[in-house]
Chains A and B, each alone.
Chain A
């Protein structure tokens, strides 16, 4: 059961980071197609929900973990912040998607904030500060 939960939790993380990579490419100037943007958005949605649900499930399942652990609380906070950045980013990208043209500065900033928060989330998962 642990192996299954961990596998799908990590797989969800791969989907989430794949979305971050795709959005970052668009922010750096790669042509943004509606289909590519939609795919990245769906990957972010599925990956984001997956890491949270399965992460909480793991925290409840594993004897050595607790939802009150500092690193798990930090992970949830980082997830919320990254998710919020991602949602604002998608809204800010709508003008560029609809009318074409360059990515707005606000959208670019939101993307890099979301990317940094995602990297911090990964670092939290690896180092588990306070554990």
Chain B
């Protein structure tokens, strides 16, 4: 049994709360984004693409930052001689996740802009980038499922 939950010092609780709350909202925002990006991909809906972009920009990204700040706050309280495996896994999924989240947000943002610019100015009127973003969001959700497993089971 993991003893960490029972013997965790009290001053770790707030950073852990911030970290977990950020993680919860990040995953929720990604699921919400997927409900907009998948129709944008399948139906070519620019309106859905715009909603997916806004969800990534205004919900998923800020929540990710909160999650990451909380993670660093609680990591700083631990004095590991050597980082255990689950910490390294957390860093890997977090760093890769940040990159994929940024790419998905930029791709959808560019797609929305190109779709809404008038045709004579080069606008496409199409929901381009929706497939890429939807796939990236799917990959992110799998990545975070691995993170949840690592954070709860704490493998060495």
Contacts and interface: CB of A to CB of B under 8 A. Distances in A.
A116 to B, nearest CB: 13
Interface residues of B, number: 29
Given A36-B35, A122-B21, 19 more contacts: A3-B152, A3-B154, A7-B148, A7-B149, A7-B152, A10-B148, A11-B145, A14-B148, A21-B25, A21-B31, A22-B32, A25-B59, A33-B35, A33-B39, A35-B35, A39-B31, A63-B1, A119-B21, A123-B17
29 contacts: A2-B2, A3-B153, A10-B151, A11-B148, A13-B24, A14-B23, A14-B28, A17-B24, A18-B24, A18-B28, A18-B31, A18-B32, A21-B28, A22-B28, A22-B31, A22-B32, A25-B59, A30-B32, A31-B47, A33-B39, A36-B32, A36-B35, A62-B1, A122-B21, A122-B24, A126-B16, A126-B17, A126-B20, A127-B17
Contacts of A93: none
A35 B13 CA distance: 37
What does DSSP make chain B's interface, helix, strand, loop or mixed? helix
A64 interface: yes
B28 A17 contact: yes
A17 B31 CA distance: 11
A67 B39 CA distance: 45
